Structure 1
C-alpha cells in the first residue's frame, strides 16, 4: 500500500509550470453567514485539469507501438518468458512507483525488471575544458578546433557527447549546475559499443579541441571503470479485460473518488470554477471550500497555518475522480507576501 500511496502523491517544488489564470478569492464559496471568506491568512488556490480518455489511454502501450526508450528485444523476451538481460539501464524505465504496462492480444501485462548481476566495464569519459581555464593545461598552440555542433563534421555519437560534456564545462565557477541525469563523472561516458566505434574523438590522433556554442574546449579522454547493474526484464499478466485494467490503474494512480451528488451546490460550483480556470480563497475558508477540501482528502490544507503545521511546500499535485471523469488537481498555498 505504501507504493500506491507514494505513486499517488507527488510534491512539485516551486510554482506550477506555466501557471494558471488567477481567480478572485472566495468568489463562489460562502461561509456560515452566507458571505465569502475574507480573512487575511494564507491563500489556497485549486485548479483542475481534466484527463482526456481512459487511464488505459494514458498508461498502457500497445505491443505494436511501444515507447522509443523501451528495449524492444527485452519486451519480446519478457513476453515470451525467455532469458534476456540489459546492462546499466532498466529495459522499460519502470519502478514500483511508476510501473509500465503493455497490451498484447487482449492481455494486459505489467512490466518491470530485477537486478540479477553486477559487471565492471571500462568506458571512455569525455570532459571538456575551456582553453583559457586556469589549470587546464591549455595554451595558444595546437590544431584548429573542430565544430562539435549539429552542423559540424563530428559523428552523431560525438555531437551528443560534446553537447552533454559542455554543460559541465559551462558550469565551472557558475552556481547554475548541470543536468546530473545526463552527465556522468563530470563529463560524458561512451557506454554504447556502437558509439565508441563511431567516435572520432576517441580514435587515435583524434581532435584535441572542439568548438561548441562559440566557445573553444580542450578535449580530455579518460578510460574509467564503472560498476553496472544487470537487469532481467519481467512481464506479469495483470488483466484480461479493459474494465479490469482500468480498475487496476485507478487503484494505482488515482486518489479520492468524489460523487458530485455528495457535494453541496456551492461546492460543485467551486469545482466548475477550478475546472475552467482556478479558484482561490483566503483563510479562514468558506464552508463550501472546506467541504470540498475534505471530499478530495486535502484536509491538511484546511489549517490556516498549513506551511508550519502540515509541512506543505510549493504545489501539490494528485489525480482524482469526479463523477465519471479523471482530473489532475493542483493545490497551491500563497502567503500574503506571495500575492
Structure 2
C-alpha cells in the first residue's frame, strides 16, 4: 500500500484571519473551559490521487513478504496456511488489505488458531560507563557482523539510547528492551549468539556498547491466513472501499463562499481557528458530520472517535482529512 503524504502546517493569517469569527466567548459554547481558550482546531485535507483501489488493492508479488504469496495461494486452494508470530498480510479491520486474482477481488486477513511457546535469543545493548579516565573497551564494528546481527544491533541500539531519556523508541521493533531473534537463519549465522568467542562489546555509530544475550520464553500467536472473495468488478470494489472509509461527501456547490474558502485553505496548507468558529468553518464541520466540535461537550466528546483513517469525497475527489487541536505554542 502506498504511504500517505505528510501533513503540512496549518495556514497562518490570511484567509484564516478573514474567516475567524470575533463574536461569542469560549466559556459559552461547546463545553470549552479556561484551559482550552488558547487552542485552535486545525483541519487538513490530503488528496488521494486516483481511485481507492490504488491504495488498498495490492500486488502481493511486489509489495508483501514472500510468505504472503504462499499464504494467499494456499488459502485460495482451500488449504490451511499457518504462521507463527507474524500476521499474514498485515491486514487489520482498521487497515484492510485486498488483492486481485483472475478478475476477482479478495479481502485478505487472518485469525488466531493456536499459541506456541518457544525460547528465543534476546540481544540487549548498554552504554559504557567510561569512568574517570574516559577510556573505552575495544569492540567489534556492527558493520562487520552478519546481516542478522547488524540488524539486531541497530534495533537494540534504539532501546539503549531510550533508557532514561524522553522520546522513547520504535517499540514495534524493540521488544523486551532489545532485539528478539526470530529468524532461524540469522540465529545460525550469528556471531553475537555464539556460545564461544562472543564479543563483549560492539561499536555502532561511533559508540561502544556492552553486549548482553539471554534466552527467554515467548508465548506467540499462531495465525491462519484467510482469503474472502468480495467483488468481481472494479466498480464494486470501489463501492466497498467507499462504504468503509468515506464518511462525508459533498461538492463545491453545496457550500457557501465562506465554507469554500475553508476547504480551499485546508487543501493547500491546512486551516485553523479558535472557538467560537466562524460560520464557514461550522458549515464545513457539519458537512463532515463532526458536530461534536460544535454542539457537544468538546473537551469530552470531540476526538473520541478519531481512531483510524477518515476520508472525504469532495467534487468527486478523495481526501484524507484530519482534525486536531493545537495549543498556543504550536
TM-score range, shorter chain: 0.7 to 0.9
Which 5+ residue runs of structure 2 have no aligned equivalent? 1-5, 27-38
Pair 1:58–1:70, CA change in 2 (3 A): farther
Matched length: 306
> Whole-Å Cα distance in 1 between the matches of residues 151 and 279 of structure 2?
56
Partner residue in 1 for 2:244: 252
Query: 1:67: how far off?
Result: 2.7
Preserved CA contact (<8 Å) 2:128 2:136: no
2:66 is equivalent to residue 80 of structure 1: no
Scaled by the length of structure 2, the TM-score of the pair is 0.82
Q: Select the residue among 217, 224, 227 that pairs with 1:235.
A: 227
| Alpha-carbon displacement from aligned partner over 1:93-146 (angstroms, at most 9, x marks no partner) | 111222111111111000000111111111111112233289xxxxx898x310
For residue 263 of structure 2, give the secondary structure of its aligned residue in structure 1.
helix
Pair 1:269–1:171, CA change in 2 (3 A): closer
Q: Select the residue among 276, 285, 289 that pairs with 1:284.
A: 276
2:51 is equivalent to residue 24 of structure 1: no
Partner residue in 2 for 1:105: 102
Report matched runs for 1:1-339 at 5 Å: 18-24=8-14, 26=16, 29=19, 37-39=21-23, 41=26, 42-68=39-65, 71-132=68-129, 144-148=138-142, 152-203=143-194, 204-303=196-295, 306=298, 308-312=299-303, 318-334=310-326, 337-338=328-329
> Whole-Å Cα distance in 2 between the matches of residues 75 and 64 of structure 1?
11
Preserved CA contact (<8 Å) 2:146 2:189: yes
> Whole-Å Cα distance in 1 between the matches of residues 167 and 16 of structure 2?
39
| Alpha-carbon displacement from aligned partner over 1:280-334 (angstroms, at most 9, x marks no partner) | 444333333222211111212225973x253548x99721111211111222334
Pair 1:159–1:18, CA change in 2 (3 A): farther
For residue 266 of structure 2, give the secondary structure of its aligned residue in structure 1.
helix
Preserved CA contact (<8 Å) 2:10 2:42: no
> Whole-Å Cα distance in 2 between the matches of residues 246 and 88 of structure 1?
32
Query: 1:227: how far off?
Result: 0.9
Which 5+ residue runs of structure 1 have no aligned equivalent? 1-15, 30-35, 135-139
